[in-house]
Amino acid sequence: MYGLVPAAAQASAGPTAKVTKSPHRRCCAGWVEHMRVGGIGVTVHELPIPFAARAATGMPDGFGACHSASAGPCAIEGHEPAADVRKRLARRPAGVGIAVPAMPPGSPGMGGPRATAYDTPPVRNDRTGRVYAHH
């Protein structure tokens, strides 16, 4: 059955993110756990094909990844480190949100034999991004 993770499975006094993901992707589940360990509460909505949720967050398809999330007014796309999300939420800058396009090996939730360097671009209201953090 697809639905929300029970409130008892959420443990955080800090910010909370709403995540839409496929029930079949282990990398997304790994990212959700990374967020929880990083102090961000997570409510998960599982859909067989979650990509339509990206449009609801305002995130352009060009920044797409395998799951979409939002925390307050901030759209979160892909495998961002929890620290980047917390920093973004604390600063409350204008714009759509932040993204880690694609699924870089070594990013939170993504395993792999070796990490690949990747950027976290903020996505501005004009749907463009620049580097917010480099990992």
pLDDT at residue 12 tops 70:
no
Q: pTM of the predicted model, to two decimals?
A: 0.82
Work out the mean pLDDT of the chain and round it to a whole number. Answer: 84
Cα separation, 47 vs 80, in Å, equals 21
pLDDT at residue 129 tops 80:
no
Q: What percent of the chain has pLDDT over 70?
A: 87
pLDDT at residue 11 tops 70:
no
Burial class (CB in 10 A: 0-12, 13-18, 19+), 100: buried
Cβ proximity of 41 and 10 under 8 Å:
yes
Region label for 126, one of left (φ > 0), alpha (ψ between -120 and 50) or beta (otherwise): alpha
Query: How do residues 23-70 score in pLDDT, each as one tens digit?
Result: 988 999 999 999 999 999 999 999 988 888 898 888 988 888 999 999
Cα separation, 50 vs 23, in Å, equals 9
Query: How do residues 100-109 score in pLDDT, each as one tens digit?
Result: 988 899 999 9
Closest by Cα among 60, 48, 58, 1 to 20? 48
Cβ proximity of 79 and 103 under 8 Å:
yes
Q: Which residue has the higher pLDDT, 102 or 4?
A: 102
pLDDT on residue 127: 66
The residues spanned by each domain of the chain are 15-134
Q: What percent of the chain has pLDDT over 90?
A: 47
Region label for 109, one of left (φ > 0), alpha (ψ between -120 and 50) or beta (otherwise): left
